[in-house]
């Protein structure tokens, strides 16, 4: 099925966005108001989106959040220079899709690693359980490796890279 090109407002993107995840090894993450949980981490940057999709399918919002660096900057609207920042923004973006068990389908098309930083590019779509398209785009991300060896999104441009600020 060919996905239609979707034009998203910032609010649409916040409610429909999905991009990012870890895979491979495991790590321990303490969840707010619950016992510590063992989760998979991404041992390579391109595995981040696999984990996000898995956590979404399991309605694990804190798992999704764990795939993003605490200081993440997310450019939801390529026409707006102001990104959203931090884990609270990630929770706001992914709460609805996680609750709905939205299906994230993604393909990483490029990965370049330099020490503890990586540049990623990929294509993604998100759909409801009934197959209704919810969003999609060509994403560009910068990933950062954590001390535990796992990778997280540090900069996420899920729709496209923002336009440069002139002046």
pLDDT at residue number 167 = 65
Instruction: In whole angstroms, give the CA distance from residue 46 to residue 49.
Output: 7
* Residue 20 token pair: 């990012």
Instruction: In whole angstroms, give the CA distance from residue 155 to residue 74.
Output: 6
* Residue 159 token pair: 């729709």
Answer yes or no: are the C-beta atoms of 159 and 8 closer than 8 Å. Answer: yes
pLDDT at 164 exceeding the cut of 80: no
Q: What is the pLDDT of residues 75-99, one digit of tens each?
A: 988 787 689 999 999 999 999 999 9
Distance of CA 141 to the CA centre of its chain: 9
Phi-psi category of residue 95: left, alpha or beta, with phi > 0 → left and psi -120 to 50 → alpha: alpha
- pTM, full prediction: 0.77
Phi-psi category of residue 149: left, alpha or beta, with phi > 0 → left and psi -120 to 50 → alpha: left
Which domains, and CATH codes, for the chain?
10-27+40-157 (3.10.450.50)
Q: Report the candidate in 160, 138, 165 with the shortest Cα–Cα distance to residue 49.
A: 138
> Per-residue confidence at 27, pLDDT binned at 50, 70, 90?
very low
Instruction: In whole angstroms, give the CA distance from residue 143 to residue 69.
Output: 8
Q: Report the candidate in 144, 141, 143, 94 with the shortest Cα–Cα distance to residue 122.
A: 141
Q: Is 8 exposed, middle or buried (0-12, 13-18, 19+ CB in 10 A)?
A: buried
Q: Is 56 helix (H, G, I), strand (E, B) or coil?
A: helix
């Amino acid at each position: 099925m060919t996905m239609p090109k979707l034009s998203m407002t910032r609010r649409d993107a916040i409610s429909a966005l999905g991009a990012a995840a870890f895979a491979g090894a495991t790590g321990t993450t303490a969840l707010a108001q619950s016992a510590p949980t063992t989760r998979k981490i991404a041992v390579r940057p391109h595995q981040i989106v696999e984990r996000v999709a898995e956590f979404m399918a399991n309605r694990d919002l804190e798992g999704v959040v764990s795939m993003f660096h605490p200081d993440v900057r997310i450019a939801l609207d390529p026409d707006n220079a102001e990104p959203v920042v931090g884990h609270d923004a990630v929770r706001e973006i992914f709460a609805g899709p996680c609750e709905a068990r939205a299906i994230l389908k993604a393909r990483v098309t490029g990965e370049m690693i330099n020490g503890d930083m990586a540049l990623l590019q990929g294509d993604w779509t998100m759909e409801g359980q009934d197959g209704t398209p919810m969003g999609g785009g060509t994403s560009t991300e910068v990933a950062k490796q954590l001390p535990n060896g796992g990778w997280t999104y540090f900069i996420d441009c899920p729709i496209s890279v923002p336009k440069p600020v002139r002046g």
